Chains A and B, each alone.
Chain A
Amino acid sequence: MSLHRSLITAKRVLLQLRHDPRTVALLLLVPCVLETLLRLIYTHRRAVFDEAGAPLLAFFPLMAVFLVTSISLLRERTSGTLERLMTTPLGRIELIAGYAVAFGVLAAVQAGVVSGLTLGPLGLHVRGPVGLVVLLAICVALLGTGLGLFASAFARTEFQVVQFFPLIVLPQLLLGGLLLPRQRMPGALHAISDALPLSYAVDGMHHLSRQPGASGALWSDIGVVLAFAAGALVLGAATLRRQTD
């Protein structure tokens, strides 16, 4: 395992993004627009904005990183760059670590910008430290990298791979406690929601918005998100084959 090759790979992935400023601008601006929209919709019901605004901060990195990872990896598989890389000393884990680092950085920047706007001018009430909001967003980004990598193995075209977004990501949003608190869901849905990683990220954001410090419950939520992320990355790594047909 060479950390050096992972970091060079992370740099390469970020360099690709830098050559695509429109994508970067969209990744940063769209969540800001959506949070602003939410704030305007609930102008007269600030409590609803406070309730939904914070969990969304955990959803944006999942959405963004899942899409960029799944499409990037699909391109690696279809363009032949993955095949070429597999004939170099680069290991599969090193490649995935490179992607995880790059998109972790992306998520940190996105979370910094979006929470800056949301907690500042939009006036969202979050009692916990902003640093932990960003940390949680980075953990969700690692999850998004793993899930996106995994999804890319089951698609042959970009049309197919974006269809995994409504399949893998949107149910986690619906069941994650954003629309209805998870405790009030019917038993079966609550059980499914317990098995989905975004639920823990949303719980974590709720803790952050309601409590001033970092509670034990928050750390355990972060731990669960990281465990899911590790599992998804390992599953994703298993889909990268040195030999293909």
Chain B
Amino acid sequence: MTAAVEFDGLTVTRGGRTVLTDVSGSFTAAGVTGLFGPSGSGKSTLIRAVAGVQTHVTGVVKVLGDHPGSASVRRQVGYMTQAASLYEDLTVAENVDYFARMRGAGPGDVLERVRLAPQAGQLVRDLSGGQRARASLAAALVGNPSLLLLDEPTVGLDPLLRRELWQLFGGLAGDGAALLVSSHVLDEARHCDQVILLREGCILAQLTPGELIARTGTEDMDEAFVRLIEQR
């Protein structure tokens, strides 16, 4: 199976500081890859490099067999930034509709999928933080992209909604999409097909949740992370 995303020897500097140091990894089409690590570990920078919006990138990054951000890739990638990245003075439906049309699609049922249909007519500036995050996610889901890059989509949501969203991600992967989903809540690793653990700009491990448990001897994901660091 061809890789959805491959990166090899990827190094990113920002303002003279190295944010990612020589990281390598890959993941295949169809599946949820979780990107875990504490705040400041380089998760957003890695996602931005894959999305093709990060400057000062050295090393090789290939997305769907092409350069990140190339015209053919941009038709197939849905990207959700960490900030909500929506027009505050438009309604939820207008935002989703606009981003859908930019990708040559219609809005479809994305608002139902993120449980935001009742807020469709509300201005984004009137939404709560969690609703904003879901509206932003909806704007990334439009047009059924084959690769979804989601930067902290579940942050600030209640546990029930978080579980629903991880179920949604699993469903999208089942339909054939590749997802790269970052989170700093390590417990969410159990929802992923594989996880990439980042710390201080380096990859600690890339493995399945089962392998992580086997290797560290604990089902507590926080504890597993600590043991991985100690093992190195």
Interface residues on A, range: 20 to 34
Among B52, B83, B87, contact of A87 (Cβ-Cβ < 8 Å): B52
- Residues of A with C-beta under 8 A to B74: 87-89
**Is B118 an interface residue when CB atoms closer than 8 A count as contact?**
no
A residues adjacent to B (C-beta < 8 A): 5, 8-9, 12, 15-16, 19-20, 79-81, 83-90, 241-245
- Residues of B with C-beta under 8 A to A242: 52-53, 69
Segment at the interface with A among B3-11, B94-102, B178-186: B94-102
Find the residue from B55, B75, B139 having the highest chain A CB count within 10 A.
B55
Extra contacts, 16 of them, besides A80-B85, A85-B102 (Cβ < 8 A), are A12-B94, A15-B90, A15-B94, A19-B91, A79-B83, A81-B85, A84-B139, A86-B69, A87-B51, A87-B69, A87-B77, A88-B99, A88-B103, A243-B54, A244-B53, A245-B15
B102 touches A90 (CB 8 A): yes
A5 touches B89 (CB 8 A): no
Tell me whether A79 and B102 are in contact in the complex, defined as CB-CB below 8 angstroms, given that A84-B81, A86-B53, A242-B69 are known contacts: no
Within 8 A of A (CB), among B58-102: 69, 71, 74-75, 77, 79-91, 94, 98-99, 101-102
With both beta carbons as reference points, the residue of chain A lying nearest to B142 in the complex is identified as A88
- Residues of A with C-beta under 8 A to B83: 79-80
With both beta carbons as reference points, the residue of chain A lying nearest to B139 in the complex is identified as A84
B123 touches A19 (CB 8 A): yes
Tell me whether A245 and B55 are in contact in the complex, defined as CB-CB below 8 angstroms, given that A12-B87, A12-B94, A84-B139 are known contacts: yes
Among A79, A86, A89, contact of B86 (Cβ-Cβ < 8 Å): A79
In the assembled complex, how far is the CB of residue A21 from the closest CB belonging to chain B, in whole angstroms? 11
A83 touches B69 (CB 8 A): no
With both beta carbons as reference points, the residue of chain A lying nearest to B14 in the complex is identified as A245
In the assembled complex, how far is the CB of residue A221 from the closest CB belonging to chain B, in whole angstroms? 36
Can you list 10 A-B contacts with CB-CB less than 8 angstroms, sorted by A residue number?
A5-B101, A12-B94, A15-B90, A79-B86, A80-B85, A85-B102, A89-B74, A243-B55, A243-B69, A244-B54
Find the residue from A9, A20, A88 having the highest chain B CB count within 10 A.
A88
A84 touches B52 (CB 8 A): no
**How many chain-B residues does the 8 Å CB contact rule pick out?**
36
Find the residue from A12, A84, A90, A242 having the highest chain B CB count within 10 A.
A84
B52 touches A245 (CB 8 A): no
- Residues of A with C-beta under 8 A to B80: 84
**Is B104 an interface residue when CB atoms closer than 8 A count as contact?**
yes
In the assembled complex, how far is the CB of residue A153 from the closest CB belonging to chain B, in whole angstroms? 15
- Residues of B with C-beta under 8 A to A86: 53, 69
- Residues of A with C-beta under 8 A to B101: 5, 8
- Residues of B with C-beta under 8 A to A20: 89
In the assembled complex, how far is the CB of residue A87 from the closest CB belonging to chain B, in whole angstroms? 4
**Is B227 an interface residue when CB atoms closer than 8 A count as contact?**
no
- Residues of A with C-beta under 8 A to B81: 80, 83-84
**Is B163 an interface residue when CB atoms closer than 8 A count as contact?**
no
A88 to B96, CA, bound (A): 13
A83 touches B77 (CB 8 A): no
**Is B56 an interface residue when CB atoms closer than 8 A count as contact?**
yes
A80 to B81, CA, bound (A): 7
B103 touches A19 (CB 8 A): no
In the assembled complex, how far is the CB of residue B119 from the closest CB belonging to chain A, in whole angstroms? 15
- Residues of A with C-beta under 8 A to B15: 245
In the assembled complex, how far is the CB of residue B217 from the closest CB belonging to chain A, in whole angstroms? 40
- Residues of A with C-beta under 8 A to B123: 19
Among A5, A12, A87, A245, contact of B56 (Cβ-Cβ < 8 Å): A245
- Residues of A with C-beta under 8 A to B89: 16, 19-20
- Residues of B with C-beta under 8 A to A85: 102
In the assembled complex, how far is the CB of residue B57 from the closest CB belonging to chain A, in whole angstroms? 8
